[in-house]
Amino acid sequence: EIDERRKRHTMNEIMVERFSDVIVQFHPDRAIVDAADVKAERFAANLRANYEKAGGGEIEIISEFKADDHYPLVSAASIVAKVHRDRSIRALEANIGAEIGSGYPADPKTVRFLKELLKAKELDDIPSYVRKSWKTVQSFIYT
């Protein structure tokens, strides 16, 4: 899904869209988010605009870097998201029968897995669970 969206949108645009989807779903008076843009206020403005465009009316958006360090609610949401992601990674490992590590580009186990998986593969032959638009993946394919 991300690879398809990356053909038409930046990661910042995708993040705004996904954060907005959640905010619209719950219709809060205020949303506190970990800024997913180099400019926290721009991220807030984009979220606010999407919310209002979706008919949500006015909303207070607090967008900060490291919001999980300052707001317990954001910290809790971050923990829940990380646990969900880790479970998804473990389920994928069980499904494909291989250890893939954390799935992050700085993880040596993930890098080893990708290098082995992508040996002599063309872009179209890469399994759907690999994010083809990821720079790490691109570097293994074209080197």
Share of the chain above pLDDT 70, in %: 95
The pTM of the full predicted model, rounded to 2 decimals, is 0.78
Share of the chain above pLDDT 90, in %: 64
Is the pLDDT confidence value at 1 over 70?
yes
Angle in degrees, CA 83, 79, 39, rounded to 5: 120
Q: What is the pLDDT of residues 37-67, one digit of tens each?
A: 999 999 999 999 999 999 888 899 999 999 9
65: number of Cβ within 10 Å: 14
Higher-confidence residue: 139 or 90? 90
Separation of alpha carbons 87 and 74, rounded Å = 20
Position 8 scores a pLDDT of 87
Burial class (CB in 10 A: 0-12, 13-18, 19+), 98: exposed
Position 44 scores a pLDDT of 98
Q: What is the mean pLDDT of residues 94-108?
A: 93
